[in-house]
Amino acid sequence: MNPEYNPEGPAQGGRNLAEMGQTVRSAAHDARETFRSESQDMIASASEQIRENPLPYVAGAFVFGIAVGCAIMAACHEDPRDTYINEPLSDAGDAISDSLSRLYSNLKFW
């Protein structure tokens, strides 16, 4: 069962492909325009609501900022006491012990 050769076959397939491409292009353009107009309407509506009653949006932004700050601080896993108290005391102790050991080694030769 060999199909017979049709010289119009490739040309017909090319035309169908071109028509499908044009259809897809047209549908994509329509979808983009619809999305653009709906998003502009949504932005205008949100802007109007914020102007009419800004307090809930300001409070929401404040709470969101606190939540982000807490998340960042929790991710650090570093105790502020270590940074501001224990490390400087440790560094001071090391500096004092180094100074005393040098002083002792200088006095030992007298």
**In this predicted model, what pLDDT tens digit does every residue of 60-94 receive, in sequence order?**
999 999 999 988 887 777 676 777 788 888 888 88
Q: Is the pLDDT of residue 1 over 50?
A: no
Q: Given this model, what pLDDT does residue 16 score? A: 82
The pLDDT confidence band at residue 102, using thresholds 50, 70 and 90, is confident
Neighbouring residues of 109: CB distance < 8 A, sequence distance ≥ 6? none
Q: 33 vs 6, which has greater pLDDT?
A: 33
Q: Given this model, what pLDDT does residue 30 score? A: 94
SS (H, E, C) 85-96: HHHHHHHHHHHH
Q: Is the pLDDT of residue 12 over 70?
A: no
Please report the DSSP string for 39-72 in residue order.
Answer: HHHHHHHHHHHHHH--HHHHHHHHHHHHHHHHHH
Q: Is the pLDDT of residue 4 over 90?
A: no
